[in-house]
Amino acid sequence: MARNIWVLAEQWKGQISEPTYELLALGREVADAMGVSLEAVVLGDQVKGLAGSLGVADTVITVEHPALAHASSEAYGEVLAQLAKQKEPHAILIPLTNASWDVIGLLPAQLHMPFVNFCGDLKVVDGKLQAKCLLYGGKMEVTVTPETPAILSILPGTRPVDQGRADKIPTVEEVAIAPAEPHVKFKKYIEPEAGEVDITQMDVLVSIGRGIQTPDNVELAEQLAEQFGGAVSGSRPVIDQGWLPLSRQVGKSGMKVKPKLYLALGISGAPEHQEGMKSSDCIIAVNMDPQAPIFSVAHYGVVGDLFEVVPCLIEKAKAMKGS
């Protein structure tokens, strides 16, 4: 029985995605600690060419079929169920991203395996997998030991991307499995309408969350952004309410931004949001809740009312620019 660690490699528009390399780095540690091999599984229409960059794995298992061209939960599940039956992995690590979302959701049922979600780190303790998971929007950390074999969805950012890349050429094993045509059929991508502002190109972002409370208050953030020569962006709730356009969303479903200054106003900082902004040069967070997870990624924090702080900031910035 092999009991190896698997990483389900994720593709985005023909390339291996960055979270895949993070998982290879994490999976390498876990496999070494257990004394087993690390195997990357690549599914797709034509994917053999992608295997070369996955050298951190000992072996790359590829399955090619037109029904696997998109990350179809049905076709992926059918193929992975057959592969898992043949090869009996110990754990399957999948990046917790929107691209892999449906596969993550259906696979535990298809494979009848335990599933661990929101996994922020994974270790081997006394020969067993121990996962640390972030629940309740990052407000609680839960340590779990799943029965194995298990499927784990891993939050982005567990290991540096570069740690998951290697020059070594992995052994490639091609497996022939022909899944049925999925019932749910991918038709096309819809690219976002170009916003009037590209938030990924701004030096300063004044970013607002649920704490902004009403659409009328967005104006306050606009005024501050104007003083700082930046733009206003937002977290999911603000976008979902329609207070800012989709092009201004920061986070897992939105944009990844790295401005020189990210001022987070009334943003609690759930893992999905942190994913989009934690690489910013300088993060300043203003939040009423001293326990807000945003303070764990911010460089500077203010526990306070943004409606008191922001007007003072606008005045102070005006005064400094005038002097």
Q: What is the footprint of other proteins within residues 51-110 (CB under 8 A)? A: 70, 73-74, 97-99, 101-102, 104-106, 108-110
Site for other proteins in 157-216 (CB under 8 A): 183-192, 203-204
Distances (CA, A) of 197 to 185, 194, 223, 276: 33, 8, 16, 17
Q: Is 10 in the site for other proteins (CB under 8 A)?
A: no
Q: Report d(CA 281, CA 263) in Å as an integer.
A: 11
Segment contacting other proteins (CB under 8 A): 26-34, 85-93, 164-172, 298-306? 298-306
User: Do 282 and 262 touch, CB atoms closer than 8 A?
Assistant: yes
Looking only at the bridges linking them, the beta strands covering 150-154 and 91-95 are: parallel
Beta-carbon contacts of residue 38 (< 8 Å; ≥ 6 apart)? 4, 5, 7, 24, 27, 28, 30, 31, 56, 57, 58, 59
Q: Is 317 in the site for other proteins (CB under 8 A)?
A: yes
Nearer to other proteins, 38 or 205 (CB): 205
Nearer to other proteins, 51 or 133 (CB): 133
Segment contacting other proteins (CB under 8 A): 20-28, 34-42, 160-168, 296-304? 296-304
Q: Which of 134, 208, 265, 267: binder of other proteins (CB under 8 A)?
A: 134
Site for other proteins in 210-249 (CB under 8 A): 228-229, 237, 240-242, 246-247, 249
3-state secondary structure of 56: coil
Shortest reach from residue 172's CB to other proteins, in Å: 28
3-state secondary structure of 266: coil
Q: Is 36 in the site for other proteins (CB under 8 A)?
A: no
Residue with the two structure tokens 């501050």: 224
